[in-house]
Each structure stands twice: as structure tokens, then as C-alpha cells.
Chain A
Amino acid sequence: MIDLINVNKSYGGENKAVDGINISIRDGEVFGFLGPNGAGKTTTIKLITGILDFDSGSIKINDISIKDNPIGAKKQFGFVPDSPDMFLRLKGIEYLNFMADIYEVSSEVRKERIEKLSKRFEMTKALGDQIQSYSHGMRQKIIIIGALIHEPSVWILDEPMTGLDPKSSYILKEMMREHADKGNTVFFSTHILEVAEKICDRVAVINKGKIIFVGTLNEMRNHFKENESLEKMFLEMTENE
């Protein structure tokens, strides 16, 4: 569960990157966060994950405030950032073990999860190599495995499909669905409508820092047909890729 209540963030006092956002993501939901490039998707995710500080409002993850109890809130989620180029000189297995230490996962449990996840993402042969030898998609996969190592109830993924091959992308979508069906929360951003169409229970659309729609995809289509300027943006998003 993620709750954003009247969240504001501006850079340098003037340029409002996030403007009075209200979203509530329930348990058991795959929630898509849509919007064209530069709309404020990544900024919002940075606010939720504690990477950026917000000016006003409140953000809670499983009812824990990221501002008042940051460590407690951060333990609730697993986060996949939009750029997977991190720790390139660690081996895959070293990175995963480091993440497991950070989230205090016991030796037995981490070993089992690493085996299971790396098999599912076909990464078993790459674990012994440095991350810098990985392709973009493989880097994305190792980061995803690292984010799931503590089996967080909330998943926060920033453009997770970018660079994944069709098979891995399919597996990730499948996992997102399974995770939500167990009563957990999946929150992910994308600028590709097609991805959202397949798996999202609900979506929010952000443009220029403001939420312009929250609801199911069918509701969104009807909503946009009635509103011409929004329809243009909707087209932009569908045209993308």
C-alpha cells in the first residue's frame, strides 16, 4: 500500500516538478504510472523512495511515513531504478550478497532466493562475472533480483521493461501479476501504453507534474475521448514505440 497525499516538490523554489499529487495504491493492485517523457514520473518515484525530499504533503508506504521513519519505510519496498548501471565492478553474486546484507536476509534464505530468481531470469551463468560485462538487459535483471532479495511487499519499478528481451519482459510481467495476486502492491512507471494495458489494474496519468487521471484503463479511454487536449497526449503515448 502506498499513499501520497497532496505532495508538492519544486526545484529551486519556482519550477514545480510535482504539483499537489494525490494517489492511493491499494494492496493486491498492479498500478501503472503513465505519462510522456519529462512529465514527473521519475521525480515522483524519487519522492516515494526517499531519494528526494518533498516540500509539503505526506507519503506513506504500508502506513509508515517515509519522512518520519525513513528506515522503516525503506524496508517495506524493493526498488528498481531507471538506470541499471550500478556497481559495475562487482560480480553479480557479490552485488546480490551485498543487497542481502543491506536488507538483513539470512544466509540460508538468500541462497535459496538467489538460486530461484537467477534461474527464472536465466542469469545463473552470469553470476560469477562482473556486472560491467553484462548487457543492458542483464544489468536490469540483476538489479531486479537484488530488489526482490528481501521479498518486499511493495515493488516500486521505474521503467522496468526498458532493455529487457521479450521473454524476460514477459516473466517480469507474470511475476508482477503473481505478486499482486498474493495481496501485495506493485507500482511501476512506463511511457508505453501497451505495457500498461496488459497488466495494470489501475493507472494514473501524470503530465507537467499534475495527476490528470486515476482509474482503470477502460475509464481512461472514455475519459480521454471526451477531452480533446488530453486525447492528443494519449495519442502521443500510444505512438511511442
Chain B
Amino acid sequence: MNRTLILTKILLKNGSDSIKNGGKKKLNRASMIIVLILFACVPFVLSIGGMISTLFDTLKVINQQGLILAMAMPAVVIIIFFFGIAYIINTFYFSTDIENLLPLPLKPAEILGAKFATVLVYEYITEAVILIPVFAVYGVKNRESLLFYMFGILIFLILPVIPLVTASIIDMVIMRFTNLAKNKDAFRIFGGIFAMVIALTINIYAQRFAMNITDPNKVMELLNKGNNSLIEITSSFFPSTKIAVYCMINSSSLSGIYQLLIFIIITVFAFLIFIMLGKMLYFAGVIGISETASKRKVLSKRELGKNTRMSPVVYSYTIKELKLLFRTPVYFLNCILMNFLWPIFLMLPIIAQPKSANNLTSLIPYIQNSSSGPMVISAALACGIFITASNMITSTSISREGKNLFFIKYIPVDYTKQMMGKVMSGMIMGIMGMLMIIPIAIFMLKLKVYIVVISFIVSILGIFFSALFGILIDVIMPKLNWDTEQKAVKQNFNGLISIFGSFGIAALIVFFSVKFPLDLIKIIIAVTIIFGIIDFILYKILTNYCVKRLKGIDC
């Protein structure tokens, strides 16, 4: 047990090295980032709090305020479960420390325990964002006693265990009994897409449910119907969550304590099953994980000729970036897949709430009216900015080099060209995202073709803007010290900063174009001039400041 604790500590330290190690300068920068992130979270937590507060008042009228806990807790459990599937595969099987741990005289249970604990700690963060405002608002508004908060802390700590155990067992079984893992890259991409599909399905159900809950009559109906509600759906996934919910609701009575005890016993039991199964499944699944499929075949004359064509440096550099993005599972799921999913995201509300399609059709006459052209153009510009920022390709492009950053310093290609190779890769995927949306826009909004063409051309200015902005942020504080690719992209604040920043700019564009309406020709000229200048300035910053900064990064 002791060794498990030590191992957990080491694994956690490894994950947060950029914050803990290094001198004072780094620490200051790290605390700055944490403050920034907290600020970014505040509006989110506040809006959740506000939403819950209103919901509480609505439900209090019919004395059903417990429904808040009954919705939030299973929701958290499900979120943890789905994040957990990907997270656990990465930490248990695909993280690079595995090869160093396997030769040590550690029992599977010790490695599993430590790895499970690391995942648990990270999941607490996700859990905190949702459950803390829920417990706080509910507790205060319902005038709960101290016992409620103590129960709350305990439940908070043990709630994620069961979904994570379930996710672990699913992962361990898959890894043990499928040969898919022989090609670990393909498996990770497949698993990631699978998890996303499930998440989207849940999203559709949640949206349908959310629509019903805003209407008090519907709520009554829902309560009467019983079986159809989200609570029942989620509880049927993890029935034990129901006990935790009742334990919170009854915290002031004896039955609450009784339910808490039962919940703890179930959790401990689940964890023991996990360890027991782990002993049988884990080593059998993890040994040999780093093997990669290979053919070892001599290239034919034709293949060799095809693969040795000369191309310009920036082109070749861009293609290299794209190949790595497509072939590295974590990069594919975070930076590439998103660009192709935009149409699904846009269609989602319509699939979830078929009625909203009617609202949309009533919009069509307005949009087809020629006076709406300028609005479409500024919306396309905003869209290009946002799509490109959210693929995080340029805003993690320096970070993704990691320990191999030295490569860009010894090759005889100047830094501007190399950075432009990265910018191009981000732009290509941004343009891809736009191209995915356009057919949907034509189909749903019945836009005129010439407006679409002009909007697309204008949006490229926005795409260029986001790509430059992203690399500017990443070159200022790249995250180079990572041991799994996940940390270069998912645990990299530069991506978030660039998304938030670009979202702000996109919102400004929409705001101004509503506030100061211009006709079609004027808006095209205005946008081209303004963004032409901004892009030019950013490009100049890239060739001067960014080059200096990149040169100055020690590696």
C-alpha cells in the first residue's frame, strides 16, 4: 500500500512538472496562468450557480428541489465515466512511463492503484466545476445543516470511484481480448471517435430533456411519467448513484447516514473487484503495448520514385506537420477531428429538438433578402476565426515539438519559414472546417452562391488571423516538457487562451456589424482593409518578435 502511495505521488509530480520544478521565474509564470484560468472559470461557475438558483426556485414551488441533486450527480457520474474511458486508456496503457514501471518489482495492484489514483485526482477537478456550485447553492437555499456539507465532501470524494472503476474494467477487457491494440494508434483513434459518438448521443438526450425542464407543465408531466426522465436513464447506468443522491437529500435524518454507509460499502466493493480483475487482466494487456506493426518490405522502384520527389521547403514542412497531426492519436482527436465535426455540431440542435427546424425555416426569407448579405459575411469571418482557433493546431505547434525543439534550430531553414509551415497547417485545417460548414449553410439557410463565395474568401483573412495569433501565444510560453502527447495539447493553456481570445474577437465582429450596419460592398472593403492590416501587423510580429523569442528558447 505504501509503495502505491509513493508511486501515486511520483506520477502526479510528473504530470505537473512545469509548475513545480524550475526557478522562481517559472513559478511566477505558473501562478499567473493559474490565476488566468481561475478567472476564465469564474463566469462558467457563476452561470451554473445562477442557473441552479433559478431552477431551485421553480422546483421549490412543487416541492421537488431534490431533483437538482438527482440531475447533477448522475450527470457528473456520466461525464466522469466518458472522460474516464479515454483518460484511463491513456494513463494505464499508452503513457510512456509504462516501460519504466514494468521492469520494477511492483505488483499489478500497486501500479493499477497508483494510476487509478492519478486519474481520480484529475477527475476531481472536472467534478468540482459542477458539483461545488450545485452543493453550495442547494445547501444555502435549502437551509441545510453542517452535516449536509460534511456528507457533501465525502460523497464528492467517493462519487467518481464507481464510474472510473467501470471505465477501467471496460478498458482492461478491451485491451486484453482484442488484437486491435497491436496497432495502438488505430485503436486510440477508434476509441476516441467511439467515445465522442456516445458523448454526442448523450448530448442529444440532455438537450431534449433540458427543453422539457424549462416548462413547468412539462416538469409535472415528466415527474408523473417517471421512467422517461434523464434521472432514470442515468440511474439505470449507475444505479448506485441513486443511493448517493438520497443520502444527500436525507442528510439530516438517520436514513441519510445509513445510505452513506451503504454507498461507501458499495464503492469499496467495486474498487476491490477492480483490483481483482486488474490482477488477471492488466499485465496481460499492457505487456507488449509499445510494439508497432511493421512490414519490413523493400520499397519498389515506383514507390521509391514517388517518395523522393523534391518540393519547396515550406510546402514540405506543412505536409510534415499535417502527417504528424493525422497520425498521432491525441493530435488527431483534438486538432483534426473537430474540423470535420462542425456540421454535426450545427445539426445537433435540430436533431435534438426537431421543432427548432421550423424556427429556422421562418428565418430563410429574411436571410435570402439581399440586405442580409453583409451580416452573412461578418458571420463567416467570425466563424473562420473561431474554427481555426478551436482546432488548436498553431496554438500548440511549438509545444508539440517538446524535447525535440532543438531540431528546428540546427536545420538551415529560417525560423519565419518554419513558423509559416506551422501556420499553413493550421490554416488548411481551418479552411477544411469552413468547407464542411458551407454545404450545411447552403442547405439549411438557402444562401445565394455568390454570397457564399465572397464570405468564404473573406473568412480566409480570419483564418489567417487565428493561425498567426495562435502561434504568437505558443511561442511566448510553449509547454515543452511533457512525457505524453496528451499533455502537449489537452493540458496546454495556450490552446484555451487562443480559443477564448478568438471567441472575443469573433463576438466583437458580430457586435459591430449589428451596431453599424453597412451595405455589401462597404462591408467587404471594410473587413478586407481592417483584417488585412491586422494580419499584416501579426505577420510582422511573427517575423521579428517571434523569431527572436524562438531563438531564445533554451533546449
Given contacts A81-B406, A101-B313, A102-B313, contact A89 B324 (CB under 8 A): yes
Rounded to whole Å, the gap between the CB of A23 and the closest CB of chain B is: 19
**Is A97 interfacial (CB-CB < 8 Å)?**
yes
- B414–A107 contact, CB under 8 A? no
**Is B43 interfacial (CB-CB < 8 Å)?**
no
Given contacts A115-B304, A126-B296, contact A90 B410 (CB under 8 A): no
**Is B186 interfacial (CB-CB < 8 Å)?**
no
Rounded to whole Å, the gap between the CB of B422 and the closest CB of chain A is: 14
A:71-119 near B, CB below 8 Å: 71-72, 74-75, 79, 81, 83, 85-87, 89-90, 93-94, 97-98, 100-107, 110-111, 114-115
Contacts of A115 in B (CB 8 A): 304
- A74–B412 contact, CB under 8 A? yes
Say which size band chain A's interface belongs to: 35 or more
Contacts of B324 in A (CB 8 A): 87, 89-90
- A125–B554 contact, CB under 8 A? no
**Is A53 interfacial (CB-CB < 8 Å)?**
yes
- A51–B308 contact, CB under 8 A? no
**Is B443 interfacial (CB-CB < 8 Å)?**
no
A:189-225 near B, CB below 8 Å: none
Closest B residue, CB atoms, query A130: B292
Closest A residue, CB atoms, query B312: A101
**Is B407 interfacial (CB-CB < 8 Å)?**
yes
- B404–A79 contact, CB under 8 A? no
Given contacts A86-B404, A89-B328, A133-B293, contact A102 B304 (CB under 8 A): no
Cross-interface CB contact of B412 among A93, A103, A105, A125, cutoff 8 Å: A103
- A50–B308 contact, CB under 8 A? no
**Is A128 interfacial (CB-CB < 8 Å)?**
yes
- B554–A52 contact, CB under 8 A? yes
**Is A169 interfacial (CB-CB < 8 Å)?**
no
Cross-interface CB contact of A102 among B294, B403, B406, B412, cutoff 8 Å: B412
Closest B residue, CB atoms, query A85: B404
Cross-interface CB contact of B310 among A49, A50, A106, A124, cutoff 8 Å: A106
- A124–B552 contact, CB under 8 A? no
**Is A127 interfacial (CB-CB < 8 Å)?**
yes
- A90–B323 contact, CB under 8 A? yes
B:398-423 near A, CB below 8 Å: 403-404, 406-407, 409-414
Contacts of B296 in A (CB 8 A): 125-126, 129
Given contacts A89-B324, A101-B311, A106-B310, contact A127 B299 (CB under 8 A): yes
- B305–A98 contact, CB under 8 A? no
CA distance A103 to B404 in the complex (A): 19
- A86–B327 contact, CB under 8 A? no
Rounded to whole Å, the gap between the CB of A15 and the closest CB of chain B is: 12
- B328–A125 contact, CB under 8 A? no
**Is B551 interfacial (CB-CB < 8 Å)?**
yes
**Is B225 interfacial (CB-CB < 8 Å)?**
no
Cross-interface CB contact of A111 among B185, B308, B552, cutoff 8 Å: B308
- B304–A105 contact, CB under 8 A? no
- Other 11 A-B pairs with CB < 8 A, given A53-B552, A90-B320, A133-B293: A46-B406, A90-B324, A100-B310, A101-B312, A102-B317, A102-B412, A106-B310, A107-B309, A110-B310, A111-B304, A129-B295
The 25 listed contacts between A and B (C-beta, < 8 Å) are A12-B23, A51-B410, A52-B554, A70-B412, A71-B414, A74-B411, A87-B404, A89-B323, A89-B328, A90-B320, A93-B299, A94-B323, A97-B309, A98-B316, A102-B317, A102-B411, A102-B412, A104-B310, A107-B309, A110-B310, A124-B299, A126-B296, A128-B299, A129-B294, A130-B294
List of 9 A-B pairs having minimum Cβ-Cβ separation, nearest first = A74-B412, A101-B316, A133-B294, A133-B292, A129-B294, A89-B327, A111-B308, A49-B410, A75-B412
